[in-house]
Amino acid sequence: MSDSVPLKLLALDAEDLAVLSAHLQDAVVRVGDLGYFPREHRFAGVLNRFDWLGALLQGAPDAANERRRAGLRFEQVRRARLQNLDPAAKDRVLSLLAITFVPEGGEGPGGVVHLHFSGDTAIELHVACVEAELKDLGAAWHARHRPAHPLDAGEPEPEA
């Protein structure tokens, strides 16, 4: 296991959100571990993120494959919209590809945060402004496989 310091990152604009997206690429999450809380104007989830930074710094192909449990939350959420996602399928595992932000009217601060998952699945968060936090929740554990994105193959099943 690596000795890396747990992440705690805030995102207050599109550039910050791109950093969170890079750290969360290939994170896996059960649908039941995601939630929208309209009264609190919050969307939150607990994911198993692949530690890409640790893997790249270590260099060894398999020894540095680690995942960490991480909390992700978005504040100032006005509404959430699901694409190809049944919230009742709580045990379905999703693989996060990227998080992007499209400002309203091209300027912001409000706009739409898109969580893009494999299998043409997405969550749109309509936000008053970008306000997100990513925080590791515990120690890392060894992952059997490093995520790969072959161009010609079908999508592999996500590893929790």
36 inside domain = yes
Rounded mean pLDDT of 123-137? Answer: 97
97 inside domain = yes
93 inside domain = yes
Which of 82, 78, 55 has the alpha carbon at shortest distance from 126? Answer: 78
What pLDDT does residue 65 have? 84
Give the chain's domain count.
Answer: 1
Asked whether 25 and 98 are in contact (CB, 8 A), the reply is: yes
C-alpha to C-alpha distance for 71 and 156, rounded to whole angstroms:
24
150 inside domain = no
Residue 153 pLDDT > 60, yes or no?
no
157 inside domain = no
Three-point CA angle 15, 51, 144, nearest 5°: 145
132 inside domain = yes
C-alpha to C-alpha distance for 102 and 158, rounded to whole angstroms:
27
The pLDDT tens digits for 91-123 are 999 999 999 999 998 777 999 999 999 999 999
101 inside domain = yes
133 inside domain = yes
Full residue range of the structural domain in which residue 17 is found: 8-142
8-11/28-30 β-pairing: unpaired
